[in-house]
Amino acid sequence: MASASSPVISPGAWLGLLGGGQLGRMFTMAAQSMGYQVCVLDPSRNAPAGMVANRQICADYADRGALEELASLCRGVTTEFENVPADALAWLAARCRVSPDAHAVSIAQDRMAEKAFMRDRCGLQTAPYAEIRTAQDIDAAEDTLFTGVLKVARLGYDGKGQRTVANRREAAQAFAAMRSVPCVLEKHLALEREISVVVARRDKSDVATFPTAENQHANGILDLSIAPARVSSDLAQRARGAALRIAGELDYLGVLCVEFFVLAGDILLVNEIAPRPHNSGHYTINACVTSQFEQQARILAGLPLGSVEQHTPAVMINILGDVLQREPDWERLLSRPRVKLHLYGKTEARQGRKMGHITCLGRSVDEALETAQAIRAELTAAAPVTAA
């Protein structure tokens, strides 16, 4: 693991990456801009990160031969998604520097372990919930959990693997439809808003949080992020404090995102954590002195963190496959001089698939948001209508 006492991995050396998605692509670009070479391990030959990496190993994440090849080449290895096998990280850690470690990733991979950790270890509040391992657990759940949201404990993301349930009968049906895998039944709450904090932690003495982001979702997928969030300074500071507490209790080294629910009265609940850079932190590429991806590379290399100062208000819009099924008018969109386009190199534009993002910069949050809403309207108007 990287820390202030770890030897520095100098530019020119190889850094490794488990996962070849868009987060890995942006990490690769950031690391290369600092002079590092990057090797990606991912089973897909069309992986977005593999397209820009210096080298790609096409293999399963649990393939010991591939892991051996990665460890023999790279001085340090990181990951771009939380569902990489924790065993692979533990195996690599015996052979090279790894961040984040297998322990932190294993907690983030399981909603049950994650919620228990927040509540019992960190002393933080989550939405009321029950662990559902059998149909009998649904019968035993508190009446106050309905209406609720049934979420698979593992491998759920972007609204996948979850269903709103009004009563026990619907919960039982949803549980059966999810093949009776372990789930959490979480009370459906009336939210004021959702926010997130990205933490960069090299060790306990070199740690920083990016400005709190305000997030809006559509169909369970992040639609846009507003930074800085339109919340009170007290709430933003409490969120940043909670994120730092989580990172400290995990003894986390790397980039970590903590997502929060905000209820009426500025009540703050931890929703979930992501042991990697996060979609809601993409604004840092254009609006901060140091991006979340450069921080990830710095930490892995044992280098001091860069400044997390946000120099420009920003709003980030996700571009999904829905709008790329018909070519947008890029000239019109980019005629706005403070708009930045980031496409991920994915060859197939599927509905709901993240294909890229646009960051709108402004002299104020309101100005950036006005630009973002205009662009969102143009993209939506140009998208083909899908059948119900």
For residue 100, whether the previous peptide bond is cis, meaning omega lies within 30 degrees of 0, is yes
CATH number of the domain where residue 97 is located: 3.40.50.20
**For the chain, what is the domain count?**
3
Cα–Cα distance for residue pair 178/351, rounded to 1 Å: 22
What is the domain-level CATH number for residue 200? 3.30.470.20
One domain for residues 72 and 154:
no
Answer yes or no: do 364 and 254 share one domain: yes
164 and 270 together in one domain: no
Kindly report each contact of residues 51-56 with a partner whose C-beta sits within 8 Å and lies 24 or more positions away, as own/partner. Answer: 51/25, 51/345, 52/25, 52/28, 52/345, 53/17, 53/20, 53/28, 54/14, 56/20
Instruction: Specify whether 300 is located in the same domain as 198.
Output: yes
Q: Note down pLDDT in tens along the chain; length 388 residues.
A: 666 667 999 999 999 999 999 999 999 999 999 999 999 999 999 999 999 999 999 999 999 999 999 999 999 999 998 888 999 999 999 999 999 999 999 999 999 999 999 999 999 999 999 999 999 999 999 999 999 999 999 976 655 789 999 999 999 999 999 999 999 999 999 999 999 999 999 999 999 999 999 999 998 899 999 999 999 999 999 999 999 999 999 999 999 999 999 999 999 999 999 999 999 999 999 999 999 999 999 999 999 999 999 999 999 999 999 999 888 999 999 999 999 999 999 989 998 999 999 999 999 999 999 999 999 999 988 666 554 3
Which domain CATH number covers 137?
A: 3.30.1490.20
Domain of 306 in residue numbering reads as 193-382
| 177 and 206 together in one domain | no
* 281 & 368 share domain: yes
Q: pTM (2 decimals)?
A: 0.95
Residue 290, φ and ψ in degrees, nearest 5: -125, 130
For residues 201 and 179, state if they share a domain.
no
Last residue in a domain, options 61, 78, 108: 108
Q: Is residue 6 part of a domain?
A: no
Residue 238: inside a domain, yes or no? yes
Are 218 and 75 contained in the same domain? no
CB count in 10 Å sphere of residue 140: 10
How do 148-152 and 183-187 pair as beta strands? antiparallel
* Whether residue 198 is found in the same domain as residue 167: no
In a domain, 8, yes or no: no
Residue 25 lies in a domain: yes
Instruction: Decide if 355 is inside a domain.
Output: yes
Same domain (yes/no): 236, 159 = no
For tokens 């919930």, what's the residue?
Answer: 129
Are 201 and 163 in the same domain?
no
Q: Of the candidates 43, 75, 108, which is a domain's last residue?
A: 108
The answer on 273 and 376 residing in a single domain is yes
